């Protein structure tokens, strides 16, 4: 595994501190994340801070794929650049992003992506885009599902207004690999069903009928 930039480790510690301070935070399954070798972390996406929570509490550094707009935000954009976020232009074919993602996995690193491609508009799982499936099929890296609950703004903001720490959970599932012969669509849906299996029923959305 290649050396991790000092700024990445510093920002991971900052993310862990802030999440533990501002949230009533519970982590499950941390032992499921392989500590060495390539691994693709695939998360559901409810709130803007979700990637920060994962990189802060995963047991190893992970490179993050995030929307390119983040890089233009005050302060947060600078932090994303310092961390080494891979920007993606949502809704467009982005070969550069896919190649960068595959390069991360070839180096034996961890990569974090939200297969839905955006924060959920419903608070439950939406249909996955095919980018994560493309990366998984071409890299053959093991996949670890990451299930998040409680981070939607409609839950976080009322709690903070009442001077309470909102309850948030982060669950890492056991690693798996895609079986041979899947189409990209089939692979995308399988990845989402593995995330759904870690979530309460009300979070499963269109993957509530969780049959592989």
What is the phi-psi region of residue 52: left when phi exceeds 0, alpha when psi lies from -120 to 50, beta otherwise?
alpha
Please tell me the predicted confidence (pLDDT) of residue 145. 98
22's tokens: 């501002």
The pLDDT of residue 5: 79
pLDDT reported for residue 1 = 47
Residues 6+ apart with CB under 8 A from 197: 145, 173, 210
* Max Cα-Cα span within the chain: 51
Contacts with 55 (C-beta within 8 Å, 6 or more apart), sequence order: 11, 12, 15, 61, 62, 64, 83, 112
The reported pTM is: 0.93
Q: Which residues pair with 210 in a beta bridge?
A: none
Compute φ and ψ for 87, nearest 5 degrees: -80, 145
Which residue stretches of 29-94 are H helix?
50-57, 76-83
- Residues 174 and 41: beta-carbon distance below 8 Å: no
Fold of 6-196: Glycerol-3-phosphate (1)-acyltransferase (3.40.1130)
Run of H or E residues at 147: strand 143-149
Encoded tokens for 37: 């070798």
Per-10-residue mean pLDDT, the chain, length 212 = 76 93 95 97 95 95 93 92 89 82 97 95 95 96 98 94 95 97 97 97 92 59
What is the tens place of the pLDDT at every residue in 88-112?
A: 987 666 788 999 999 999 999 999 9
Question: Please, which residues bridge with residue 24 across strands?
Answer: 167
């Amino acid at each position: 595994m290649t050396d991790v930039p000092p700024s990445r480790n510093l920002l991971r510690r900052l993310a862990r501190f802030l999440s533990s301070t501002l949230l009533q935070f519970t982590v499950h399954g941390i032992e499921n994340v392989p500590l060495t070798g390539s691994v693709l972390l695939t998360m559901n996406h409810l709130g803007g801070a979700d990637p920060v929570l994962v990189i802060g509490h995963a047991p190893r550094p992970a490179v993050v794929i995030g929307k390119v707009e983040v890089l233009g935000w005050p302060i947060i954009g600078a932090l994303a650049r310092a961390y080494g976020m891979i920007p993606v232009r949502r809704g467009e074919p982005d070969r550069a992003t896919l190649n960068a993602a595959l390069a991360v996995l070839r180096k034996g690193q961890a990569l974090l992506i939200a297969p839905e491609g955006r924060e959920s508009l419903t608070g439950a799982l939406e249909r996955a885009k095919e980018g994560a499936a493309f990366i998984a099929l071409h890299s053959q890296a093991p996949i670890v599902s990451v299930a998040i609950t409680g981070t939607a703004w409609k839950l976080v903001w009322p709690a903070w207004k009442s001077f309470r720490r909102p309850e948030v959970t982060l669950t890492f599932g056991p690693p798996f690999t895609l079986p041979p012969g899947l189409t990209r669509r089939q692979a995308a849906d399988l990845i989402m069903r593995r995330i759904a299996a870690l979530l309460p029923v009300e979070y499963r959305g269109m993957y509530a009928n969780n049959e592989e």
